[in-house]
Copies of this chain bind each other. A is one copy, B any other.
Amino acid sequence: MVLDTRQLLLQRGIAMLLRHGYNDLGIAALLEETQIPKGSFYHHFESKEDFGLQVVDLYMKEVHGGLDQCLRDAKRSPLQRVRHFFEMSEEKYRTEGYLGCLLGGLGQELSGVSQAFRRKVEQCFNEIARRIAVCLREAIDQGALPKETDPDKMAELLVNCWEGAALRSRLRRDPAPLREMLDFYFRNVAA
């Protein structure tokens, strides 16, 4: 299937924003790489900011796809499903050369100055944590987590610690920080 122009720009945008961040990404470089004329870019996107926000939407579509695949997997226990989602994320990071998570990158770079990105990225983390919390609640119901566990808090904590590990993984181009974080979390969340 041939991607249409808009999709092609957004797909390439994910990879380029992951490496360069937002301010270092040149629209001219993006157009040269994709061989798409400038007028066409501004036909599809109002501005660079509009483009960046739509790249985040596409990234989140992929994240939700991964969550669908992992969290609905009836062959695994609820906790195994959650862990599997993060292991699949690690596998995705590997194919990209361990550049970490686009949400963490844009969140750090832009949330001091851009309300639009600050709100968008916070909303993305919220959505991910909410879906994980559903699975943790199931684990509580099945007795795999203590009854007094707060699934919302524990889901937020997991997402947040993962983002810190993803930063360190990006600095080192190494999956070890991601694995050690997951080991610690899952060893202790059930304790």
Contacts and interface: CB of A to CB of B under 8 A. Distances in A.
Interface of A: 18-24, 99-100, 104-105, 107-113, 118, 121-122, 125, 153, 156-157, 159-168, 170-172, 177, 180-181, 184, 187-188, 191
Contact of A109 (B109, B121, B160, B168): B109
Nearest to A169: B160
B161 A122 contact: no
25 contacts: A19-B112, A21-B112, A23-B23, A99-B112, A104-B108, A104-B167, A105-B108, A107-B108, A109-B109, A118-B171, A121-B171, A122-B172, A125-B168, A125-B171, A153-B180, A160-B168, A161-B165, A161-B181, A163-B163, A163-B168, A164-B167, A167-B167, A184-B188, A188-B188, A191-B191
